[in-house]
Amino acid sequence: MPSDSALMEASLAALGDRYDGMATELFDRLIADHPHYTPVFLNPEAARERMTSETLEAMLGLAAAEPWVDLAVTNFIDLHHNYADFTAPDYAAWLALVIATMARRAGSDWPEGASAAWQRQADALTAKVATVTRNREVPVRP
């Protein structure tokens, strides 16, 4: 059975050009599902691509046991607390949306087991998020 890392890489390859526009779709869906976040993102055009790529990189890094992931997660938390008090369930909802959107876009090209591989990493990432102590020196923007 392929590793999560291999399945995830294969799924990104299967997604191919269907990745184009995915960040906009994800962000629009996030805001539609959670309209109270609308004022949090001052520049959604800048945030959406970065959020999407950093999410994928973090889950891929976690699957590959990259040592930088823990620090990156802490930095994500601190950065996002500058905007709002996002919780582990907020991150879990975003990660689930990312996985479902990739699978839908890839369609029948999505490798068997890829969604489960991504979800295992999403669960691990969410668990890491839940353990990060909020840096009180980073103010929440009013």
**Contact yes or no for 53/111 (Cβ under 8 A):** no
Q: Residue 62 has what pLDDT?
A: 93
- Long-range CB contacts (within 8 A, 24+) of 18-24: 18/105, 18/106, 19/102, 19/105, 22/52, 22/101, 22/102, 22/105, 23/48, 23/49, 23/51, 23/52, 23/53, 24/48
Please tell me the predicted confidence (pLDDT) of residue 71.
87
Average pLDDT, integer, range 112-118: 96
pLDDT in tens, 15-67: 999 999 999 999 999 989 989 888 888 787 888 888 899 999 999 999 999 99
Give the burial class of 24: count Cβ atoms within 10 A of its Cβ; 0-12 exposed, 13-18 middle, 19 or more buried. middle
> Is residue 18 packed enough to be buried (19+ CB in 10 Å), middle (13-18) or exposed (0-12)?
middle
Counts for the chain of helices (H) and strands (E), in that order: 6, 0
In order of their start, the domains of the chain are 4-131 (1.10.490)
Confidence band (pLDDT; 50, 70, 90) for 87? Answer: confident
Owner of token pair 């869906």: 29
pLDDT for position 108:
95
| Contacting residues for 54 by C-beta, under 8 A, at least 6 apart | 72, 76
